[in-house]
Amino acid sequence: MSDGPLARPISAMARAVRAGTVGPSHFVSAALEAIRARDDLNAFLSVLPGPEAGPPPPASSPGQPRTHGVDSPGSSTAAREDGALAGVPIAVKDNLATLDMPTTCASRMLEGYRSPFEATAVRRLRDAGAVIVGKTNLDEFGMGSSTENSARGPTLNPADRERVPGGSSGGSAAAVAAGLVPGALGSDTGGSVRQPAALCGVVGIKPTYGLVSRYGLVAFASSLDQVGTLARTVEDAAALLDAIAGHDPRDSTSQARPRHSFAAAALGGAEGLRVGVPREYLPESLGPEIQRLCQRALDRLRGRGAEILDVSLPNTHLAIPAYYVIAPAEASSNLARFDGVRFGRRAEGSLSPREMYERSRSEGFGVEVKRRIMLGTYALSAGYYDAYYGSAQRARARVAADFGDAFQEMDVLFTPTSPTVAFRIGERVQDPVQMYLSDVFTVTANLAGIPAMSLPIGRSGGLPVGGQIMAPHWGEVSMLRAAGALEAALAEDGT
């Protein structure tokens, strides 16, 4: 990670720009220079041109970020100088619509697509003074746990370039971990912000479903998707959440809630918090070093005045099977629009409508996306709907009820984020079940719609380990209090 200007806290960067200590493009130029010089991780798919930038690489160059001119209203490398994020360079996952760069979802289906509108979360970052410097790599349409399912090739983990960064927001997590940007946006459908945050050693927040607008987020599974933030510290990730949270009339799932300063909550301390530890999340199969680091984290929270209590979430075993019916079913429905007629790639040649439809989707979608479309279509088909999708929704209700019961007594819950450290590239590509189990500790929060986040709690074999904190609906303040206190305590240990 850089020790230069990009190593400052986000609040310090913005304060320097607002005070005129540095120019409004100072940190943006540093980020663009870092990306051009050091993004051999394949973290970025598109990048704004910076000072003295060379010509963009050809469209056929795999693994190279493409530069794009700033030619759209409201998009500029010059920042607003009076916002809470004035002059702060931010990366955005390439499934969030932007005006000044393509929105491809790392898919051949949307190669080169430019959106006519911008995602609300992106627009709110700009309104706060941030500059979007690039779009990051992801598993195609957000479907994956390793960022290997990208039409532009896999992203590498900065901690070990032979390993995955997690997914599907692996590009955003890797960019932050490598010090290329101080913060980024991702999306979290079953852990896609928190799991890569854990595997790369950064902080990732998935807010309560409905706290952040999904307008302009290309849908994977609409009842599960939520825009989240990634940064080096809890306070920085919370500052980004402050900027993007709030009701949006263009998103019917967005809810009006009282405003809080999430960044201030991160400094609130853990005194008096009741922290539950679900026994189902600490199975005997969990690696001993991860168990040790989790126990140390709990000891540090206890030392900061929190009460640590044992709890049970007995329907946790239903989460993975329920998720991998519901998410593919919703994906099958959402991706039906990419048919070569309304949206997406169109196969060349004089074809009948049926041939054009089949070839367009066959050529445009990758293997994992096709797998999930087929699974979802089967689950929704006549004669199987109630047996699969209906049963999965009932299981989802039981998982959510477990959390409701637990939060009657607890303020937050603490668990590991991932059952393992980052695995090697290619290790699980041919074993989708093992790949899906990477999300075993994270999918529950999406099924229940509750907020959850990951923060670094140590290293095992030199690789980052993340701890997860979950809270009840709209409980971000308690979650961030616990996370900020734990981060501070571990920092005192030199972790």
What is the C-alpha to C-alpha distance for residues 100 and 47, in angstroms, rounded to an integer? 10
Asked about 25 being catalytic, the answer comes back as no
DSSP-assigned letter for residue 416: E
Across 217-341, the runs of DSSP E, i.e. the strands, are 226-231, 274-278, 307-311
What is the C-alpha to C-alpha distance for residues 237 and 183, in angstroms, rounded to an integer? 7
Could you check whether the bond before residue 168 is cis, i.e. omega within 30 degrees of 0? yes
**Closest of 21, 453, 1, 26 to residue 182, by C-alpha:** 1
AA identity, residue 153: G
Question: What does R_g of the chain's alpha carbons equal in angstroms?
Answer: 21
Asked about 478 being catalytic, the answer comes back as no
Contact between 69 and 112 (Cβ < 8 Å): no
In angstroms, the Cα distances linking 1 to 4, 76, 165, 201 are 9, 26, 15, 11
**Closest of 113, 97, 221, 242 to residue 168, by C-alpha:** 221
For tokens 């320097």, the residue is 16
Please pick, among 187, 192, 418, 454, the residue that the annotation labels catalytic: 192
Please pick, among 25, 29, 46, 93, the residue that the annotation labels catalytic: 93
Please pick, among 168, 360, 418, 438, the residue that the annotation labels catalytic: 168
**Structure tokens, 31:** 């980020």
For tokens 């000044």, the residue is 100
Asked about 168 being catalytic, the answer comes back as yes
The residues that are catalytic are 93, 168, 192
